[in-house]
């Protein structure tokens, strides 16, 4: 299988766990996988990305522009920032809840993500989810990453078995959060499947 | 058993496989995870340490190597500057057991002060350097590096770059590792005591030996030729080789050379690989090192070869390469019209900028804020240093006037105090940096009668690089409790008369301490002690009460990322807030409370 998946968001949102789970699941299904993450100074509230590349001929650790099959976006403006990576017929899974940078608060610039989601809706094929609302329902923002992973899986664009991903989640989350993460994944999966069906003509 | 690990993990596993006996390092992005990975895998019989700085690390390793042990030293590229004193001499003396210095370069730079090129350092020191282009290669190549070091009895440099260090791939991990058996130190003053005549003699031997190593490298397995003979060829190294390969997979006829051993340059290999080639494009990051070697080669052998790269404007001098930048450069050089490239992005909305900031609840924010408040209206010099607290420069704190290199804050503040008797000079230095290179600066201040206030931001960890322990935290990498080394006692020992320790989150007390220290002359120290929020989660949060008058003082003065405006009203993001209470102490109408409120 050849697949390029880009995960983007803001430092501290849990993008790394999502990329590790996808990579592990892809390997469990017998693929060769490479990935790359943002680490260091930039992690502190800055934009972060993880590039997951599945397939034998993915030499560059970073996905070349226009080649990502799927973007999993933890924040709307970060999806816009990385849009150049998405294939013409690629899909973006987008959390509509904005993370406001301190600079925006200091200057009263009023960034709230709306402009970004409008832009995305116009330009690319997207599945939107209100991460804040969903996470409130799930009981914590800590489940945002697993929720978005569920949506991506439900959309069918990961090219990986749901069970494989669930198995990798179980290996990586502490036992006491297992139930909650399972719930987060399944509610995401439902959103993903449903939204993709809606799109069928 | 295969494991999916970071490039740094691959280096660590490769070193374990090579039977490493001693591993030392100082944390620095992108190198820190090597030592951390060693700690996580079975490593019985390995001495593992976070040394106090890179110079100490290399010296510890050098002696271990003299005794015949295999030694690994890890650091980032600027760390090599610190370790350069022992390295330059060690290059003359040589080693017994394999000694490999991993110095991770950071093109971009992404998390560094400089875009220096470690390959130049290897050339400067006249020692071999290995340059992997993927985590899988790094795993293999670090083993080759140990073998090379032992074969030629020289320290060897291993130079990965950020994208290799932080890329992930699967490599082999074993159930257990066997450290190398070694003979122990054999006294030999003629060999291990560096004297001018020894350096003179060895200088000659080293230059002769390097010719042999260059010949060896000409058949090295990672110096490769792909594609067919063509008039135009491409030479790439490190991660740029992977970018070039990614692009050239659709153009298999183009000749692609890769040189993984920049120094000593594999001259025979290059000459053979370039036979028939009229024009060659060099793709490398940082400095045009290989490009210059080709220029030398062409001159030496009177080749009619055009060498393109950074020096001809084909490749930019600064920043990192990417799959896309390399693709564009190759298209132009080879005259290929490629259909690929990103989607057309039009009428992009303006994106919010996200400069890195101190975390919500970070005690450094409170420390900077206390100094700022205490010194309001006075002439000040704020000398910063390397660590998370460099981020104290961002608005609205704006508390870092200078930042140069590790430990420079303490000494630069002295410089300002000597040229301006009026202004108040402050140095800000973290706990780990204080141990790494701050202490000698304090001695200098006392001896030379500076008038400075040293603010030690003690959050009990090395936060920026991923929370490594240090001498002030007690537990070392062998898992032993070595006892915490007291910063206060060190300062007392040096002879400071005014040393105050405060909790920066108690704002009034902190401001008082700053005023008190700034008002007396001499060398004074304030230790702002409060743990990094990432190692000690409070579980508390604060919230805004109805009595808020929406004056926004909390946001404007602290700039805490947990505070933001939602529909024009100030709110606290409970998922980020740590309940540090700084904003509550800033609010003029006491409208912030909650669990952090006592
Ligand atoms: S208490 Fe205030 S300053 Fe501290 S983390 Fe919470 S919002 Fe930020
Ligand atoms: S400082 Fe106090 S009154 Fe002013 S906006 Fe913040 S919480 Fe409200």
Q: Does the interface predicted TM-score (ipTM) exceed 0.85?
A: yes
Beta strands in B138-217 (DSSP E): 156-158, 167-172
Q: The domain containing residue B485 runs over which residues? A: 363-529
What is the Cα–Cα distance from B459 to A128, expressed in whole angstroms?
40
Domain shared by B207 and B314, yes or no: no
Give the position, in ligand 1's atom list, of the atom nearest the Cα of B561: 8
CB contacts of A27 in chain B (<8 Å) are 4, 170
Question: How close is the nearest chain B Cα to the Cα of A199, in Å?
Answer: 22
- Kindly state the average pLDDT of the residues B581-585: 95
CA distance B465 to B468: 7
Tell me if B242 sits within 8 A of A61, measured CB to CB. Answer: yes
- For the segment B67-90, the average pLDDT, to the nearest whole number, is 97
C-alpha B555 to ligand 2 mean position (Å): 8
Q: What is the dihedral of CA B511, B514, B515, B516, to 10 degrees?
A: 120
The CA-atom distances, in angstroms, between B589 and each of B544, B594, B598 are 11, 15, 16
Q: Is residue B348 part of a domain?
A: no
Mean pLDDT for the stretch of residues B252-275? 96
Checking if the pLDDT of B72 tops 70, the result is yes
Q: In this complex, which of A24, A62, A88 lies closest to B4 when CB atoms are compared?
A: A24
Do B143 and B240 share a structural domain?
no
Q: What is the dihedral of CA B391, B395, B396, B400, to 10 degrees?
A: 50
Cα–Cα distance, B159 to B149 (Å, whole number): 14
- Ligand lying closest to the C-alpha of residue B591: 2
Share of chain B above pLDDT 70, in %: 98
Give the model's pLDDT for residue B475. 86
What is the pLDDT, as a whole number, of residue B390? 86
**CA distance to partner chain A, nearest, from residue B465 (Å):** 6
**pLDDT computed for residue A41 by the predictor:** 56
Global pTM reads: 0.92
Nearest ligand by distance to the CA of B554: 2
pLDDT in tens, B515-570: 999 999 999 999 999 998 888 777 789 999 999 999 999 999 999 989 988 878 89
Q: Does domain A3-199 have CATH number 3.40.50.450?
A: no
Of B239, B243, B341, the CB nearest to A65: B341
Q: B508 and B578: one domain?
A: no
What is the C-alpha separation between A149 and A168, in angstroms, rounded? 12
Integer Cα distance of B500 and B510 in angstroms: 10
pLDDT for B398 = 93
Across the interface, of B323, B349, B394, the residue whose CB is closest to A115 is B349
Position B338 pLDDT exceeds 80: no
What CATH code is carried by the domain that includes residue B571? 3.30.70.20
Same domain for B260 and B378, yes or no, is: no
Q: What is the pLDDT of residue B341?
A: 58
Note whether B428 and B446 are same-domain residues. Answer: yes
**How many C-beta atoms lie closer than 10 Å to residue A165's C-beta?**
25
For residue B582, which atom of ligand 1 is closest to its CA?
Answer: 3
Cis amide leading into B109 (omega within 30):
yes
Whole-number Å distance, alpha carbon B530 to ligand 1 midpoint, is 15
- If asked whether residues B142 and B44 sit together in one domain, one would say yes
Question: Looking at ligand 2, which atom is closest to the CA of residue B551?
Answer: 4
Contact B464 A40 (CB under 8 A): yes
| CB contact burial B84-116 (16+ within 10 A = b; e otherwise) | bebbeebbbbbbbbbbbbbbbbbbbbbbbbebb
pLDDT tens readout for residues B344-356: 777 888 888 888 8
CA gap B41, B36 in Å, rounded: 9
Instruction: Answer yes or no: are the C-beta atoms of A201 and A162 closer than 8 Å.
Output: no
Cα distances (angstroms) measured from residue B99 to each of B149, B215, B216, B263, B380? 6, 21, 19, 17, 46
The beta-carbon neighbor of B343 closest among A20, A86, A106 is A86
Residue-wise pLDDT for B380-411, tens only, equals 999 999 988 888 888 899 999 999 999 999 99
Domain final residue, candidates B217, B239, B255: B217
Centre of ligand 2 from the C-alpha of residue A99, in Å:
21
The pLDDT mean for chain B works out to 93
Per-residue confidence in pLDDT tens, chain A, 201 aa: 899 999 999 987 889 899 999 999 999 999 999 999 876 555 667 889 999 999 988 898 889 999 999 999 999 999 999 999 999 999 999 999 998 887 777 776 668 889 999 999 999 999 999 988 888 888 877 889 999 999 999 999 999 999 999 999 999 888 888 888 999 999 999 999 987 666 544
Q: Which of B217, B251, B266 is the last residue of a domain?
A: B217
Task: Give the integer Cα–Cα distance in Å for B385 and B395.
Answer: 17
| pLDDT exceeds cutoff 70 at B462 | yes
Which residue among A58, A62, A80 sits closest to B349, beta carbon to beta carbon?
A: A80
Q: List the alpha helices (DSSP H) in chain A.
A: 15-28, 76-81, 102-106, 114-123, 131-138, 144-154, 162-172, 178-199
Q: In this structure, are B292 and B421 located in the same domain?
A: no
Question: How do residues B119-155 score in pLDDT, each as one tens digit?
Answer: 999 999 999 999 999 999 999 999 999 999 999 999 9
For residue B592, which ligand has an atom nearest its CA? 2
Contacts of B394 in chain A (CB under 8 A): 102
Strands B2-6 and B452-458: unpaired
What is the SS3 assignment for A200?
A: coil
**CA-based nearest residue to B106, from B280, B5, B278, B238:** B238
Q: Do the beta carbons of residue B481 and residue B469 sit within 8 Å?
A: no
Instruction: Calculate how far, in angstroms, residue B557's C-alpha sits from the geometric centre of ligand 1.
Output: 12
pLDDT digits (tens, 9 = 90+) for B189-231: 999 999 999 999 999 999 999 999 999 999 999 999 999 888 9
B516 vs chain A: nearest CA distance in angstroms? 32
Q: Does B134 touch chain A (CB under 8 A)?
A: yes
Q: Does position B597 have pLDDT exceeding 70, yes or no?
A: no
> Which of B343, B365, B389, B459 best probes binding to A when mutated, by most A CB atoms within 10 angstroms?
B343
Contacts of B27 in chain A (CB under 8 A): none
Burial annotation B497-524 (CB, 10 A radius, 16+ → b, else e): ebbbebebbbbeebbebbeebbeeebbb
Supply the Cα-derived Rg of chain B in whole angstroms. Answer: 27
Q: Could you give the CA distance from residue B487 to residue B492 in angstroms, rounded to a whole number?
A: 9
Interchain pair B340, A104: CB under 8 A: no
User: What would you measure as the largest C-alpha separation in chain A, in angstroms?
Assistant: 50
| Structural domain includes residue B88 | yes
Query: Please, are residues A158 and A6 in contact by the beta-carbon 8 Å criterion?
Result: no
User: Which residues on chain B are in Cβ contact (under 8 Å) with A23?
Assistant: 4, 168
Q: Which of A32, A6, A45 is nearest to A148 (CA)?
A: A6
Which residues line ligand 1 at a C-beta cut-off of 6 Å? B 360-361, 542, 558, 560, 562-563, 572, 577-583, 596
The rounded Å distance from CA B454 to ligand 1 centre is 26
Distance CA B245, CA B255 (A): 11
Looking at the structure, tell me whether residues B466 and B493 fall in a common domain: yes
- Residue B408 is inside which H or E element, if any? helix B408-419
Tokens of B126: 């006249």
Residue B287 lies in a domain: yes
Q: Which ligand is nearest to the CA of B589?
A: 2
CATH number, domain containing residue B457: 3.40.50.970
Ligand 2, residues at Cβ distance < 6 Å: B 544, 548-554, 570, 587, 589, 591-592
Q: What is the bridge-based pairing of β-strands B255-258 and B232-236?
A: parallel
Q: What's the B551 CA to ligand 2 centre distance in angstroms?
A: 5
pLDDT score at A118: 94
Rounded to whole angstroms, how far apart are CA atoms A41 and A38? 9
The contacts of residue A44 (CB under 8 Å, 6+ apart) are: A11, B356, B357, B358, B359, B388, B391
Q: In this structure, are residues A191 and A127 in contact, taking their beta carbons and an 8 Å threshold?
A: yes
> Across the interface, which of B134, B343, B356 has its CB nearest the CB of A44?
B356
pLDDT at site B357: 85
With an 8 Å Cβ cutoff, are A60 and B565 in contact? no
Q: What share of chain B is helix, strand, coil (3-state, %, to 5)?
A: 35, 20, 45
A73 Cα: distance to centroid of ligand 1 (angstroms): 27
Task: Output the domain CATH number for residue B262.
Answer: 3.40.50.920
C-beta separation of B498 from B520 below 8 A:
yes
Is residue B188's pLDDT more than 90? yes
pLDDT of residue A99: 87
**pLDDT on residue A173:** 87
Q: Which residues contact A21 (CB under 8 A, 6 or more apart)?
A: A149, A165, A168, A169, A172
Collect all residues of chain A within an 8 Å Cβ-Cβ radius of residue B30: 39-40
B448 located within any domain = yes
In-domain check, residue B536: no
Angstroms from B539 CA to nearest CA on chain A: 13
Ligand 2 center–CA B566 separation, angstroms: 13
pLDDT grade for B596, boundaries at 50, 70 and 90: very low
Tell me the pLDDT band of B116, cut-offs 50, 70 and 90: very high
| Collapsed DSSP state (helix, strand, coil) of residue B489 | helix
Residue B565: exposure state from Cβ atoms within 10 A (0-12, 13-18, ≥19): buried
Q: Which of A45, A168, A172 to mutate to test the interface with B (most CBs of B within 10 A)?
A: A45
Instruction: Tally C-beta pairs within 8 A across A and B.
Output: 158
Cβ–Cβ below 8 Å for B30 and A37: no
- Cα–Cα distance, B418 to B441 (Å, whole number): 15
Cβ pair B72, B100 in contact under 8 A: yes
Q: What's the CA gap between B30 and B102, in Å, rounded?
A: 11
CA distance B181 to chain A (A): 35
Residue A109 has what pLDDT? 66
**Residue B71 and residue B98 in contact, taking contact as beta carbons nearer than 8 Å:** yes
DSSP helix/strand/coil, A135: helix
Among B10, B162, B163, B168, the residue to mutate for chain A (most A Cβ within 10 A): B168
B464 and B550, same domain (yes or no): no
Q: Is residue B347 part of a domain?
A: no
Q: Where does residue A171 rank: exposed (0-12), middle (13-18), buried (19+ CB within 10 A)? A: exposed
Helix (H, G, I), strand (E, B) or coil at B252: coil
Nearest CA-CA partner of A127 in A69, A192, A171, A59: A192
Across B484-499, average pLDDT: 95
DSSP state of A83: G
Number of domains chain B is built from? 4
């Amino acid at each position: 299988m050849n697949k390029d998946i880009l995960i983007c968001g803001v430092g501290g949102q849990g993008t790394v766990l999502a990329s590790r789970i996808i990579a592990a699941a892809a390997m469990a299904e017998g693929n060769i996988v490479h990935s790359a993450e943002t680490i260091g100074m930039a992690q502190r509230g800055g934009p972060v990305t993880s590039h997951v590349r599945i397939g034998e001929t993915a030499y560059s650790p970073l996905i070349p522009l226009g080649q990502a099959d799927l973007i999993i976006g933890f924040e709307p403006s970060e999806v816009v920032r990385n849009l150049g990576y998405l294939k013409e017929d690629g899909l973006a899974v987008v959390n509509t809840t904005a993370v406001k940078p301190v600079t925006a608060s200091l200057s009263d610039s009023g960034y709230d993500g709306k402009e970004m989601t409008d832009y995305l809706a116009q330009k690319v094929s997207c599945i939107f989810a209100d991460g804040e609302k969903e996470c409130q329902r799930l009981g914590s923002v800590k489940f945002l990453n697993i929720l978005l992973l569920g949506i991506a899986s439900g959309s069918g664009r990961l090219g990986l078995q749901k069970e494989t991903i669930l198995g990798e989640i179980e290996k990586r989350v502490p036992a006491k959060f297992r139930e909650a993460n399972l719930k987060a994944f399944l509610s995401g999966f439902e959103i993903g499947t449903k939204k993709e069906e809606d799109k069928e003509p | 058993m295969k494991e999916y690990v970071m490039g740094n993990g691959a280096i660590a596993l490769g070193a374990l496989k090579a039977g490493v006996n001693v591993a030392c390092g100082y944390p620095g992005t992108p190198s820190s995870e090597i030592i951390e990975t060693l700690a996580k895998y079975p490593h019985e019989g390995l001495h593992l340490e976070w040394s106090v700085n890179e110079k100490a690390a290399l010296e510890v390793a050098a002696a271990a190597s003299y005794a015949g042990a295999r030694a690994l030293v890890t650091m980032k590229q600027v760390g090599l500057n610190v370790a350069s004193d022992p390295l330059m001499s060690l290059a003359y003396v040589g080693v017994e057991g394999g000694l490999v210095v991993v110095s991770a370069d950071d093109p971009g730079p992404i998390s560094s002060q400089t875009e220096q090129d470690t390959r130049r350092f290897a050339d400067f020191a006249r020692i071999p350097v290995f340059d992997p282009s993927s985590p899988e290669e790094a795993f293999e190549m670090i083993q080759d590096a140990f073998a090379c070091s032992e074969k030629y009895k020289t320290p060897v440099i291993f130079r990965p770059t950020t994208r290799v260090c932080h890329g992930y791939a699967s490599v082999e991990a074993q159930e257990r590792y066997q450290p190398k058996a070694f003979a122990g130190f054999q006294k030999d003053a003629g060999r291990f005591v560096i004297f001018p005549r020894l350096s003179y003699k060895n200088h000659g031997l080293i230059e002769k030996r390097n010719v042999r190593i260059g010949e060896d490298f000409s058949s090295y397995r990672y110096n490769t030729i792909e594609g067919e003979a063509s008039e135009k060829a491409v030479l790439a190294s490190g991660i740029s080789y992977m970018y070039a390969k990614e692009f050239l997979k659709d153009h298999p006829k183009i000749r692609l050379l890769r040189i993984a051993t920049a120094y000593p340059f594999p001259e025979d290999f290059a000459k053979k690989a370039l036979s028939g080639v009229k024009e060659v494009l060099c793709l490398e990051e940082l400095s045009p090192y290989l490009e210059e070697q080709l220029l030398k080669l062409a001159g030496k052998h009177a080749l009619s070869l055009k060498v393109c790269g950074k020096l001809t404007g084909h490749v930019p001098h600064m920043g990192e390469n990417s799959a896309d930048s390399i693709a564009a450069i190759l298209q132009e050089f080879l005259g290929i019209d490629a259909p690929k490239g990103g989607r057309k992005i039009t009428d992009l909305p303006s994106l919010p900028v996200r400069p890195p900031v101190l975390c919500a609840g970070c005690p450094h924010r409170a420390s900077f804020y206390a100094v700022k408040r205490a010194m309001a209206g006075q002439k000040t010099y704020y000398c910063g240093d390397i660590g998370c607290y460099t981020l104290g420069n961002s608005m609205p704190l704006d508390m870092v006037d200078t930042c140069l290199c590790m430990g420079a804050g303490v000494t630069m503040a002295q410089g300002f105090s000597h040229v301006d008797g009026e202004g108040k000079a402050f140095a800000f230095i973290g706990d780990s940096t204080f141990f790494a290179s701050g202490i000698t600066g304090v001695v200098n201040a006392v001896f030379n009668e500076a008038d400075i206030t040293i603010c030690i931001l003690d959050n009990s960890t090395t936060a920026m690089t991923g929370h490594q322990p240090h001498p002030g935290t007690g537990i070392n990498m062998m898992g032993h409790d070595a006892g915490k080394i007291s910063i206060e006692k060190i300062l007392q020992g040096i002879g400071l008369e005014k040393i105050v320790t405060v909790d920066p989150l108690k704002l009034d007390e902190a401001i008082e301490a700053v005023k008190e220290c700034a008002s007396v002359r001499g060398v004074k120290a304030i230790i702002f002690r409060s743990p990094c929020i990432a190692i000690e989660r409070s579980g508390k949060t604060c919230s805004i009460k109805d009595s808020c008058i929406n004056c926004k003082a909390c946001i404007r003065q602290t700039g805490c990322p947990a505070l933001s405006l939602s529909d024009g009203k100030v709110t606290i993001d409970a998922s980020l807030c740590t309940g540090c209470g700084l904003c509550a102490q800033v609010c003029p109408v006491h409208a912030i409370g909650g669990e952090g409120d006592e």
